[in-house]
């Protein structure tokens, strides 16, 4: 059959809800809140753009911000293994909240695990 683009499968509306549910948790998480800005609206806007292209939708992140260089963009922040785990927990709970399930959820989550681990730039002991 036709290849299914993950972005088409989730849809812009659910993706937007996912990102909002995610940052609501980030804002309340003791390990994450200290390294994020108080106002997460711009962060959420960029993350919606990024995940749109990460999932095969239009390249709206790069059109506005250039190549993602995601690991380099995280260099100013202390990304420890514990923070990567916290990030993934917030994402997993957000996925539950918006009702993602089954193979789509599993595949996306597994991809995000790899990306999150790739962002780690400090050990837990230096936290």
Nearest to 71 by CA among 124, 127, 121: 121
d(CA 70, CA 126): 22
d(CA 32, CA 117): 15
In the chain the first and final C-alpha atoms are separated, in Å, by: 48
DSSP state of 100: -
Q: Could you tell me the smallest distance in angstroms from the CB atom of residue 13 to ligand HEM?
A: 19
116 makes contact with ligand HEM (CB under 6 A) = yes
- Binding part of the chain for ligand HEM, among 1-9, 11-19, 30-38, 100-108 by CB under 6 A, reads 30-38
> Which member of 25, 47, 52, 100 binds ligand HEM (CB under 6 A)?
47
Site of interaction with ligand HEM (CB under 6 A): 32, 35-37, 42-43, 46-47, 50, 65, 70, 73-74, 77, 79, 83-84, 87, 112, 115-116, 119
């Amino acid at each position: 059959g036709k290849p299914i683009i993950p972005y088409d499968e989730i849809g812009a509306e659910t993706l937007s809800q996912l990102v909002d549910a995610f940052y609501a948790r980030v804002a309340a998480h003791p390990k994450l809140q200290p390294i994020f800005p108080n106002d997460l609206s711009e962060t959420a806007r960029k993350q919606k753009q990024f995940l749109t292209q990460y999932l095969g939708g239009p390249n709206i992140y790069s059109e506005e911000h250039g190549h993602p260089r995601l690991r380099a963009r995280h260099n100013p922040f202390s990304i420890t293994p514990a923070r990567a785990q916290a990030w993934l927990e917030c994402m997993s709970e957000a996925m539950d909240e918006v009702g993602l399930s089954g193979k789509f959820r599993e595949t996306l989550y597994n991809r995000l695990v790899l990306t999150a681990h790739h962002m780690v730039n400090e050990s837990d002991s230096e936290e």
